[in-house]
Chain A
């Protein structure tokens, strides 16, 4: 068996597959996996006018939109995330980006009035569902699968590989990792957790199966007067969260690992209790750079 590495760009980030196997089986698995990642990107990207997301958003306040089983399952999943996070995680919160402009220089904090105005459109309960349709009740509402899509694509990519006979490998979509299987001989993969403030890895987790996803305050942010405001906004308040620099979660599938990491970031001090209730292992780095979590003791630094 040889190790093959495929790198590609999708969902606006660097992606890679590392797969052990023999020539044609590995190539076939990689082709299928990458094709499915691109399919999901095209289907749910809010930057594409013909995507399912854009169709649903354009119909907000007008009429229900027919959806397929995959979209329905993703919306169901988003609903569970909303409930478990007690409203902090809400896929209708994308409209807040109009108030929080992370590309603006110099950076500017939105004022309370702006946030309140956009918050009127953040309301998961206004997303009306039947088994085959979805209707955003208020004009101007938007849904955005950005918080779940990448992790879901990572799981599907891994499944593509397993179903094509590749049993040792990993999928990494912009830092969201799902294992296809351990390294040969049941050896673990060493997955580094990015240092939230520095270069390289802060800690290394050894994993034979499952997934590792990280949510951090360093992906998109600005700093004003020494205070960092990141892109993770509590949907209930419209405010950026700041209790943690990053949370990395290990779970059986990447979709769960990613949601738990993001919701933990949004839960602030309630993160450890939330993660304990979900029964997942994690490493959390608080605002002062201290590492904690069920994996903190065994993570190699």
Chain B
């Protein structure tokens, strides 16, 4: 029973051992749950989205955009991932109304098209990842080309990630009405961010983005619009996710402060609740509130009160002081076999009176918009 055996005498036993090497594997496979029922698919994704955007002000419909988009992500080798997207927008209608006394609509209601594409390559090394990207956006009166580099450092315990990024963009504006001819704009952007896992159910991320640019910022389609030729912005974004295991849900909170040298400082708060439901459905309601102060060179109606020839001037609603709410909801459906679909709807309402403190820019009609986006994706 307790016989000692000379384990050195392996030679004659080797064929028997070789024959039984499969026995261990077979016995292990018989253990329930040792091997997953399905082999994990390669982490490639292809997604198709279709966005329908419409905005309006009381008494007037303004702009509609229809935008199909294609997105692909594929690991092409060990540690290298490539992702890219293509977007084709058709925009029709007029751009936002100025305040009433200038009612300068931009176009005559014809349809404009925009094609945009971007590519990004990310390489993973042990505790770092480096990404390089390029993007182009082209429409009849506007061409933008951008490039970016980002580096991420993962801590040894993987609870902390540092991110650093630098990006540059070159824009060229040739307005159809000839006001802007061969105008250019150059922008440089820097990002530093940190992501920290606080506990099994909590993660926080904070990013600081500084952007500086010079060139043509005015709107050539407004009867009078002269903006500074230099602009810098500082954005501070903090996001926090908390998971509730009993509800199997996640609360997402985000706050962004934007300081803009134009004077349009803004605070934005966003809340979302991700709730998985039976049958592979996930429901995510969300609400965003923004309050923005007016640009230094924004003038209340009526024109030309307070205006001095040669000074900077804009009557663009988007640079006024206002508050805006964006309620929305997204429904995701996991079809199975790597397929998923989602539907997202958002409504936007902007009003001067909703500016925090109530003192928004007077004399403006409320502005509303809605997004409906349908998407379908497949992992491969």
Contact = CB atoms under 8 A, between A and B. Distances in A.
Question: Do A and B come together as binding partners?
Answer: yes
Contacts of A163: 36-38
B81 A278 contact: no
A236 B7 CA distance: 12
B311 interface: no
B75 to A, nearest CB: 5
Band of interface residues on B: 35 or more
A253 B203 CA distance: 31
A135 interface: no
Nearest to B11: A273
B203 A4 contact: yes
18 contacts: A2-B203, A4-B203, A23-B203, A27-B245, A28-B248, A28-B276, A119-B1, A123-B1, A155-B35, A156-B32, A167-B41, A184-B43, A185-B124, A187-B124, A237-B4, A252-B25, A270-B7, A278-B24
Contacts of B241: 23
A69 B33 CA distance: 12
A148 to B, nearest CB: 9
Q: Name the 4 nearest CB pairs between A and B, nearest first.
A: A270-B7, A162-B36, A277-B17, A187-B79
Interface string B16-38: 01101101110110111111111
B132 to A, nearest CB: 14
A183 B124 contact: yes
Contacts of B43: 167-168, 184
Interface in A66-95: 69-70, 73-74, 76-77, 79-81, 83-84, 86-87
Contacts of A2: 161, 195, 203
A24 B276 contact: yes
B7 A260 contact: no
A27 B201 contact: yes
Contacts of A77: 27-28, 30-31
A185 B10 contact: no
A5 to B, nearest CB: 5
Interface string A231-259: 00000111000000000000011011001
Given A80-B24, A162-B36, A24 B2 contact: no
Given A86-B5, A237-B2, A18 B158 contact: yes
B2 A119 contact: yes
A260 B24 contact: yes
Contacts of B7: 86, 267-270
A5 B158 contact: yes
B8 interface: yes
Contacts of A110: none
A159 interface: yes
A190 interface: yes
A186 B77 contact: yes
Interface of A: 2-6, 18, 23-24, 27-28, 30-31, 36, 69-70, 73-74, 76-77, 79-81, 83-84, 86-87, 116, 119, 122-123, 152, 155-156, 158-160, 162-163, 167-168, 180-188, 190, 208, 236-238, 252-253, 255-256, 259-260, 267-270, 273-274, 277-279
Nearest to A4: B197
Given A24-B250, A167-B40, A3 B14 contact: no
B28 A253 contact: yes
Contacts of B276: 24, 28
B57 to A, nearest CB: 37
Contacts of A162: 36, 38, 40
Contacts of A122: 2
B274 interface: yes
Contacts of B166: none
Contact of B34 (A81, A156, A237, A267): A156
Interface string B199-220: 0110100000000000000000
Contacts of B80: 185
Contact of B14 (A27, A183, A273): A273
A236 B5 contact: yes
Given A255-B31, A273-B17, 20 more contacts: A2-B195, A3-B158, A4-B200, A4-B203, A6-B200, A24-B276, A27-B200, A36-B33, A70-B32, A77-B30, A83-B20, A119-B1, A155-B31, A167-B43, A185-B79, A252-B35, A253-B28, A253-B34, A253-B35, A255-B28
Nearest to A28: B248
Contact of A81 (B24, B248, B282): B24
Nearest to A257: B28
Contacts of B18: 277
A57 to B, nearest CB: 20
B33 A155 contact: yes
